[in-house]
Chains A and B, each alone.
Chain A
Amino acid sequence: KAGVTQTPRYLIKTRGQQVTLSCSPISGHRSVSWYQQTPGQGLQFLFEYFSETQRNKGNFPGRFSGRQFSNSRSEMNVSTLELGDSALYLCASSLDGLGGRSGIPEAFFGQGTRLTVV
């Protein structure tokens, strides 16, 4: 079974530009979450999508947005990039919907996209 796939692995962008990151979840998983990882802040929750609907959102500005398609693939977009957006962006998929009743409530992570803003 293929794991979570994130593309691209590395990106270098200039301040003010926008960027789109892609995540393909494990087959059969309908929940996709995005996290920002930085050395100082650890893993910060961005948002979660389930069946094409944003179900949860973290405390990030509106420049960070996402969407999920009918095949559960998800994209994350960051507009008007700032230097502080440089980070490893991780995508995670899970089987469970709200309530976690499948017995497999854990998330499975992709290798991440390393975004550098210069």
Chain B
Amino acid sequence: AQSVAQPEDQVNVAEGNPLTVKCTYSVSGNPYLFWYVQYPNRGLQFLLKYITGDNLVKGSYGFEAEFNKSQTSFHLKKPSALVSDSALYFCAVRDIENRDDKIIFGKGTRLHILP
């Protein structure tokens, strides 16, 4: 069965510093990987995805993520954090080669950007 792990419940970063939010996954086939962001009292907003091709994918608001097949990781990164990046971030995986194809989410990582 597919699964996603976000090892950090919370990440604190000073404004202007680079940020990384970690994600590892487990699927039986080739994964589709996603990052979503959730602001207070809102639904989830799609940030970026990896389907195939270049391991570094770029998304909204200056975020990017690197797919590493050998480490089964898909960490979210941004070169310079903004206070407005403070939110809850979810990593998700979809295993389309599995009969049980569905999108599974990690538990989320709360990102605090300190002014």
Q: Could you tell me if A45 and B102 are in contact, using CB atoms closer than 8 angstroms?
A: yes
Q: CB-nearest residue of chain B relative to A96?
A: B96
Inter-subunit contact B43/A105 (CB<8 Å): no
**Which residues of the partner chain A approach B107 to less than 8 Å between Cβ atoms?**
41-43
Any chain B CB within 8 A of the CB of A64?
Answer: no
B83 adjacent to chain A (CB < 8 Å): no
Q: Is B25 positioned at the interface, with any CB of A under 8 Å from its CB?
A: no
Q: How many residues of B contact A (CB 8 A)?
A: 25
Q: Which residues of A contact B51 (CB under 8 A)?
A: 103, 105
Q: Mark B32-52, 1 if CB is under 8 A from A, else 0.
A: 101010000111111001010
Q: Interface residue tally of chain A, by bracket? A: 20 to 34
- Residues in A neighbouring B101, C-beta threshold 8 A: 56, 98-100
**Max chain A C-beta neighbours (<10 A), residue from B36, B45, B97, B106:** B36
Contact B100 A56 (CB under 8 A): yes
Is B103 a contact of A107 with CB atoms below 8 Å?
A: yes
Residue from the set A33, A106, A110 with the largest chain B CB neighbour count within 10 Å: A106
> Total number of A-B contacts with CB less than 8 angstroms?
67
Contact between B34 and A106, CB atoms less than 8 A apart: yes
A107 proximity list for chain B (CB < 8 A):
46, 103
Q: Please indicate the chain B residues that have their CB under 8 angstroms from the CB of A96 in the complex.
A: 96
Task: Check A105 against B96 for contact (C-beta < 8 Å).
Answer: yes
What is the CB-to-nearest-CB distance from A5 to chain B, in angstroms, rounded to a whole number? 11
Closest to B108 in A: A42
Q: Which of A48, A55, A100 has the most CB of B within 10 A?
A: A100
Is the pair A100, B102 in contact by a Cβ cutoff of 8 Å?
no
Query: Which chain B residues lie closer than 8 Å to A92 at the CB level?
Result: 44, 103
Bound CA span A39–B74, Å: 23
Contact across chains for A100 and B43 when beta carbons are under 8 A apart: no
Cα–Cα distance between A103 and B44 once the two chains are bound (Å): 20
List the interface of chain B (C-beta within 8 A of A).
32, 34, 36, 41-46, 49, 51, 90, 94, 96-97, 99-108
6 shortest A-B CB distances, which residue pairs?
A42-B107, A109-B43, A100-B96, A43-B105, A109-B44, A111-B43
Q: Residues of A at under 8 Å CB distance from B?
A: 4, 6, 33, 35, 41-43, 45, 48, 55-56, 90, 92, 94, 96, 98-101, 103, 105-112, 114
